[in-house]
Amino acid sequence: MTLNLRPASRKAWGFDDRKARSTTDRVDDDPKMPDALEVAAALDAHFARTGQLIGPLHGVVLSIKDLLDTYDMRTTGGGDADYANDRPPRDATLVKRLRDAGAIILAKANLGEYASGSRSAFGGTMCNPYDTARDVGGSSGGSASSVAANLVTCTISEEGGPSIRMPSRFNNGVGLSQSQGLVSRDGMIGGGGLNDRNGAACRTVEDVARILDVIAGYDPADDLTVYSVGRIPKDGYTQFARERSLQGIRIGVVREFMDKKLFTAADHQSIDIVDRAISDLRKLGATIVDPGEGGALFQGCIDQHVPRNLNALFIRQFPALFPDGVDHVSALAAFYADPSRVPKKLTIRDFGIDRCHTRHGQPVLAAGDQKVAEVARADDHHHDDVRPRLLETRVTEQRELEHQPHHRDHQHRDLPGAQVELVAHWQRLALDQVQHHRRRVHHRGKQRRRAEQREQRGLRMREDRQDQFGENDIQERGLQRGVELR
């Protein structure tokens, strides 16, 4: 999107002004801002003169996602906006580290505008070099595709979700979204919260490790990087990229996302490639946990734990199994104790969707959730404490059922002793959470009453002083006291 070339070189290579290093400095002749060709020439001269490399990335050509600051090139975030000066005052911390290690920054890579999607107002739509009809992946698609097209050796991507990994996957590369706090986020558009992170994307794992060796480490400008102190390998990350055996490594095959009947023909090639890779991993010594074609790696775990951990979702999925007036807790405990009774409907593919059904575009809540919604609307002070009130509502309903003679006689009639204990345990947990919620509400109420009392005492004191001295006298005394203090 932006080439690190001075105007004469850029035009000689046939690139228009849209690719200029700056739109606010058309002359672009500052000797303190060498372009990529000048940096490369300086690196060659240094090596010819000394026989030494500048650093571990001497001569390695990179692109930088256009969210990160580069002092010699504009930073736009993909937005087509007018600037008085479109050049940042300095490099982002990791960009400076790359330059100090001898890297050549060739370009700023296009991105989804302000890190969203696969196109930008300034750079336009990105293309996948392997097939221009296919998605390049967002939002670091320009970074990943610049590597795939052999325009650069490596790139720096950024993500708040999968924006390092997904574009690398779509463009047949390697992208690493390392642990948060390992690489500085200083000098970038965004860079807040706990999700944003910067990482390398290259063609090989070893190349990614070499970049990480350079950019990882503490940065005073990013407090979160304090977590990297003492946690970086003494001999760097590259040593771990040279393993030739996977002995002792267990790798699971998530067949839930490899069923060709569920995907388009465009995905079939990718599924076949993964299938072949499984054999390669097995030859390298890895233990492959594969449920087989049509199998489901996580289904047993889901069948057992969803009735307990996502019980509201589970009940809505199977309303016929949980009619009104029936003890839902006992039924859920029975499913947990015997997962084979769970209908094979909810799979790992279903996670990530809304946890409530919709009708005409509006969410439809279960009966208990509707009661909680009414409670939340009636209590603006504690609208975020929905879950405890939901538990309290259901515990109250449970107690009402228990007071019905028929229910007392038959609620645990068909359950083994262990399941009866499990039901009782869940009920105790629910009551504990309700009591904890009540204590929180009581504590907040006390705090609010104390604040109101302090405010009332302050008003009474001020009224007493006004009665004694008068408002003007109070102000004059305050001014005199201020003069004395100065």
> Which amino acids are annotated catalytic?
65, 139, 163
The token pair at 456 is: 């009332």
In 222-237, which positions are buried (b, 16+ CB within 10 angstroms) versus exposed (e)? Answer: bebbeebeeeeeeebb
Contact status, residue 412 vs residue 464, Cβ threshold 8 Å: no
Q: Which helix (H) or strand (E) holds 174?
A: strand 174-175
Tokens 């932006």 identify what position?
2
Q: Which helix (H) or strand (E) holds 124?
A: strand 124-125
Instruction: Please state, in angstroms and rounded to a whole number, the distance separating the CA atoms of residues 179 and 195.
Output: 10
For residue 393, count other CB atoms closer than 10 A to its CB: 19
Q: Using CA atoms of 277, 283, 289, 291 in order, give the dihedral in degrees to the nearest 10.
A: 60
What would you measure as the largest C-alpha separation in the chain, in angstroms?
Answer: 97
Q: Using CA atoms of 164, 166, 169, 172 in order, give the dihedral in degrees to the nearest 10.
A: -60
**How many CA atoms within 13 Å lie on the side-chain side of 250?**
3
Name residues whose C-beta falls within 8 Å of residue 113's C-beta, 6 or more positions apart in sequence.
77, 78, 79, 119, 120, 121, 122
Name residues whose C-beta falls within 8 Å of residue 278's C-beta, 6 or more positions apart in sequence.
253, 288, 290
SS3 assignment, position 177: coil
Instruction: Please state, in angstroms and rounded to a whole number, the distance separating the CA atoms of residues 436 and 255.
Output: 42
Q: Which helix (H) or strand (E) holds 304?
A: helix 299-309
- At residue 364's C-alpha, the angle toward residues 360 and 365, to 5°, is 175
Contact status, residue 33 vs residue 68, Cβ threshold 8 Å: no
Burial of 317 per CB tally in 10 Å (0-12, 13-18, 19+): middle
Q: Is the preceding peptide bond at 184 cis, omega within 30 degrees of 0?
A: no
**DSSP state at residue 52:** -
Name residues whose C-beta falls within 8 Å of residue 214's C-beta, 6 or more positions apart in sequence.
55, 56, 57, 97, 98, 101, 103
Contact status, residue 234 vs residue 80, Cβ threshold 8 Å: no
